[in-house]
Structure 1
Amino acid sequence: MAKWTPTHEAPEPLEGPVVATITGGTVLWFVLFLVQLPFYGWFDDHGRTWWLWTCLAGAGLGLIGIWYVRGRDAALKRAAAEQDESGTRTPE
């Protein structure tokens, strides 16, 4: 089987308010869980309790995502500061 090789370079990753986006999504998943929680009986009667647990899982995974993107954002800022510091420092 021949190995597939891309014929063009990969585009630069999109940067934006990643931490805010992940935090907003996590909050949304948790709010959806809380809104559906009073209707647990109806969901249970109709075999749809997985809707609740999906929202709770989304909120839980979102917490992991917030931890991850905050660390990534901090690492990117550290790297940019180090690069800026080394670029403006005069040789002694």
Structure 2
Amino acid sequence: MAKWTPKHEAPEPLEGPVVATITGGTILWFVLFLVQLPFYGWFDDHGHLWWVWTCLAGAGLGLIGIWYVRGRDAAIKRAAAEAEAEAEASPDSL
């Protein structure tokens, strides 16, 4: 059996509004948690209490995600600024 090799290079990853996306998802998880709180007794009676705690866990992990992607975004911008500063400081070799 022959090993599969790609015929072209992989495309660059798409960069989008990552911080806004993670923030929106975190807000959505927290809103779902708040919406389910009035029905806590029903969830407990029917064995679905984990739904409530899953939403809270999603909101908590989302907060960690926001912290992570904000740091990543800052690092990308800092690297781009350093590369631009180096390009301006070095004389053209052409």
Q: Which consecutive unaligned segments of at least 5 residues does structure 2 have?
A: none
Q: By how many angstroms is 1:5 displaced?
A: 4.8
**TM-score, normalising length: structure 2:** 0.87
Superposed CA RMSD: 1.6
TM alignment of 1:53-92, pairs within 5 A: 53-91=53-91
Moved over 3 A (4+): 2-8
What letter is aligned with 1:15? E
Alignment partners' CA distance in 2, 1:59 and 1:12: 30
- Cα distance change of structure 1 residues 52 and 76 upon mapping to structure 2, 3 Å threshold: same
Post-superposition CA distance 1:29-67 (Å, at most 9, x none): 001000101100000011111111110111011011001
- Cα distance change of structure 1 residues 20 and 44 upon mapping to structure 2, 3 Å threshold: same
Q: What is the aligned length?
A: 91
What percentage of aligned pairs have identical amino acids? 84
TM alignment of 1:1-92, pairs within 5 A: 5-91=5-91
Alignment partners' CA distance in 2, 1:6 and 1:74: 33
Q: By how many angstroms is 1:11 displaced?
A: 1.9
Q: By how many angstroms is 1:3 displaced?
A: 6.9
What letter is aligned with 2:36? Q
Alignment partners' CA distance in 2, 1:7 and 1:44: 55
Alignment partners' CA distance in 2, 1:53 and 1:11: 39
